[in-house]
Amino acid sequence: MKIALAQINYHIGNFELNTKKIIDHIYLSKGKGADLVVFAELAVCGYPPRDFLEFEDFIALCERSALEIAAHCKDIACIIGLPVKNEVLAGKDLFNAAYFIADGAIKQVVKKTLLPTYDVFDEYRYFEPNAQFNCVEFKGQKIALTICEDLWNINDNPMYISCPMDELILQQPDLMINIAASPFDYHHDEDRIKVLSDNAKKYKLPLFYVNQVGAQTELIFDGGSLVFDQEGELKAEMKYFEEDLQVFEVGEVENVKNKYPAPARDSDIKQIHDALVLGIKDYFQKSGFSKAVLGLSGGIDSAVVCALACEALGAENVMAVLMPSKYSSDHSVKDALDLVNNIGCKHEIIEIKAATEAFDQMLAKPFEGLAFNVTEENIQARCRGIVVMAMSNKFGYILLNTSNKSECAVGYGTLYGDMCGAMSVLGDVYKTQVFELARFINAEREIIPVNTIVKPPSAELRPNQKDSDSLPDYGILDRILFQHIEKKQGAKAIIAQGFDETLVKRILKMVNVAEFKRYQTPPILRVSSKAFGMGRRMPIVGRYMD
């Protein structure tokens, strides 16, 4: 039996597109001699559909698409993921399921057992867990078909009390197939390979795994579909961050050569780069937009966002707006213009001096006798926010936010100013990683000016301002933030690692106090195991971190 793994970029709720892609790949697989083609979890509707699942019409469209797909399954079988109704009154109304289709008909329904409800996942909100286990029989082979999380309960600290494969193995299957929607983070590919390899070893069965690819707002899916032999050895690894289709012979898995060998994993920074480019590209394409605008300050964050946007959308579709104030240095303007010249994007120079002076005059009476402080700094940032939003409204640009994760964590940004935008490109990338990204982007030629990379970071909202006036050194700050955010460590545990007690407590208080700002930020492209947004839910008025 020959199995095709179809690694596709789906669009949530775009049934016409998803159905067409699935049908096209059925015929492509058939042309390659496949007997069975396998698609991802919730492929028909896209993952994650979230509260679309609460609309009866949405579920009806899923079923209608599945029947259309089934009509094209002649002389080839397929497995597709979709939500299906729970016919039992008790419990949730839906199952996260897979259809096994052959001879133009739905032959079997397999339902997901383990429903993740942590970090970015919220499946138990919508789905009922499966309680019945049956293998799929096809061409003399018994297939243990599972859905994503069903294979992840294999470690020293199980999250669930049951394990679907422990039930399915009793039926003596010949192979395992797992359909998934497994989001990217820059450590997850290694974790995924280990978990799947451990399953193949434990059950002594070859394993065929298909993941989706593409970005769904903040979630990015990296593909990387996999094949393992019964010893748990990785035999094939499909493309990352691209659509792909490959066909494998079941009886010859042990002889399959890895079509995309990666004995050394791509660096974290390359993975982050590729994920962000895909995230920008898909956000625009799936939202029906093509042109981006951003404020270009001459600093490293906006320079990196501009470079990524130009790579994702084409330089001709990116508008960089330089908005110098009376505190902007000559070298910042020059650095921004050098980037524009290096990269070839559009640009405008719009000075904000007149706007800030107008606000100074408007507020002169209520502010009489009060010294210049963060209020006037924020007015400058908000003037810039008004300018780029005006460009967005007038020309139909989508505004890209340029704040990084370090700033977002400690609240070093201005609401309705530099924190505005439709999407945050670097909101899950620490400042030290932004520097690495800049060097990666410059690997073949200078795109981001060297001076932008080497000069001390500054918001330039007052004379001779430096980030270091308000924040600890980024090298130390990011290490503490990583322990707190990704590793979920409190002050005592971080201090025990050798960090200064006063500094740790100061930083964690800043993180806690800034929670109200993060509730008002744009969606953040997720590239780490713990990003701000849907995967990190903290109370605004909590005192725990104070």
Identify whether the C-beta of residue 79 lies closer than 8 Å to the C-beta of residue 99.
yes
| Binding-site annotation: residue ranges for deamido-NAD(+) | 378, 407, 517
| Binding-site annotation: residue ranges for L-glutamine | 118, 182
Model confidence pLDDT, tens digit, residues 62-71: 999 999 999 9
The mean predicted confidence, pLDDT, of the chain is: 94
Place of tokens 């970029």: 9
Q: Average pLDDT, stretch 361-368? A: 96
Q: Which helix (H) or strand (E) holds 6?
A: strand 2-7
In which band, very low, low, confident or very high, does the pLDDT at 73 lie, cut at 50, 70 and 90?
very high
In which band, very low, low, confident or very high, does the pLDDT at 254 lie, cut at 50, 70 and 90?
low
Model confidence pLDDT, tens digit, residues 303-317: 999 999 999 999 999
The predicted pLDDT at position 293 comes to: 98
Model confidence pLDDT, tens digit, residues 75-125: 999 999 999 999 999 999 999 999 999 999 999 999 999 999 999 999 999
Q: CA-to-CA distance for 213 and 414, rounded, in angstroms?
A: 34
Nearest 5°: phi and psi at 217?
55, -110
Residue 528, Cβ neighbours under 10 Å: how many? Answer: 22
Q: CA-to-CA distance for 381 and 459, rounded, in angstroms?
A: 9
Model confidence pLDDT, tens digit, residues 378-406: 999 999 999 999 999 999 999 999 999 99
**What structural domains and CATH numbers belong to the chain?**
2-251 (3.60.110.10), 270-467 (3.40.50.620)
**SS3 assignment for 138-165:** ECCEEEEEEEHHHHCCCCCCCCCCCCHH
Nearest 5°: phi and psi at 283?
-60, -45
Place of tokens 């065929």: 208
Mapped onto helix, strand or coil, the DSSP state of residue 362 is: helix
Number of residues in the chain: 546
Strand partners, 543: none
In which band, very low, low, confident or very high, does the pLDDT at 546 lie, cut at 50, 70 and 90?
low
Q: CA-to-CA distance for 13 and 59, rounded, in angstroms?
A: 10
Strand partners, 101: 78, 106
> Would strands 234-237 and 226-228 be described as parallel, antiparallel, or unpaired?
antiparallel
Identify whether the C-beta of residue 305 lies closer than 8 Å to the C-beta of residue 426.
yes
Place of tokens 């309960």: 153
Does the pLDDT at position 260 exceed 60? no
| Binding-site annotation: residue ranges for ATP | 295-302, 402
Burial letters for 126-159: b for 16+ Cβ neighbours within 10 Å, e otherwise? bbbbbeebebbebeebbbbbbbbbbbbbbeeeee
Does the pLDDT at position 263 exceed 60? no
* Cα–Cα distances in angstroms (integers) from residue 222 to residues 16, 147, 282, in the given order: 23, 17, 12
Mapped onto helix, strand or coil, the DSSP state of residue 216 is: strand
Higher pLDDT pick, 36 / 265: 36
Model confidence pLDDT, tens digit, residues 484-533: 999 999 999 999 999 999 999 999 999 999 999 999 999 999 999 999 99
Q: CA-to-CA distance for 16 and 71, rounded, in angstroms?
A: 15
Does the pLDDT at position 458 exceed 80? no
Cβ partners under 8 Å of residue 479, min gap 6 = 499
Q: CA-to-CA distance for 175 and 398, rounded, in angstroms?
A: 47
Tokens representing 453? 């990379």
Q: CA-to-CA distance for 223 and 239, rounded, in angstroms?
A: 7
Q: CA-to-CA distance for 543 and 440, rounded, in angstroms?
A: 40
Tokens representing 67? 């029947």
Q: CA-to-CA distance for 343 and 302, rounded, in angstroms?
A: 13
Q: Average pLDDT, stretch 407-415? A: 95
Of 389, 399, 406, whose CA–CA distance to 475 is shortest? Answer: 406
Tokens representing 394? 């007038």
Place of tokens 């990387």: 224
* Cα–Cα distances in angstroms (integers) from residue 292 to residues 107, 302, 390, in the given order: 47, 13, 13
The predicted pLDDT at position 467 comes to: 74
Mapped onto helix, strand or coil, the DSSP state of residue 82 is: strand
User: Catalytic site residues?
Assistant: 41, 112, 148
Model confidence pLDDT, tens digit, residues 318-351: 999 999 988 777 788 999 999 999 999 999 999 9
* Cα–Cα distances in angstroms (integers) from residue 178 to residues 40, 46, 175, 375, 520, in the given order: 9, 17, 10, 55, 37
Q: How far apart are the first and last CA of the chain?
A: 61
| Binding-site annotation: residue ranges | 118, 182, 295-302, 378, 402, 407, 517
The predicted pLDDT at position 459 comes to: 66
Q: CA-to-CA distance for 236 and 306, rounded, in angstroms?
A: 36
In which band, very low, low, confident or very high, does the pLDDT at 470 lie, cut at 50, 70 and 90?
confident
The predicted pLDDT at position 155 comes to: 80
Tokens representing 298? 């001459």
The predicted pLDDT at position 259 comes to: 57
Strand partners, 357: none
Nearest 5°: phi and psi at 99?
-100, 130
Q: CA-to-CA distance for 535 and 440, rounded, in angstroms?
A: 28
Q: CA-to-CA distance for 236 and 276, rounded, in angstroms?
A: 25
The predicted pLDDT at position 67 comes to: 98
DSSP string, 227-241: EE-TT--EEEE--BS
Q: CA-to-CA distance for 114 and 152, rounded, in angstroms?
A: 9
DSSP string, 448-465: S-HHHHHSPP---SSTT-
Mapped onto helix, strand or coil, the DSSP state of residue 326 is: coil
Identify whether the C-beta of residue 508 lies closer than 8 Å to the C-beta of residue 545.
yes
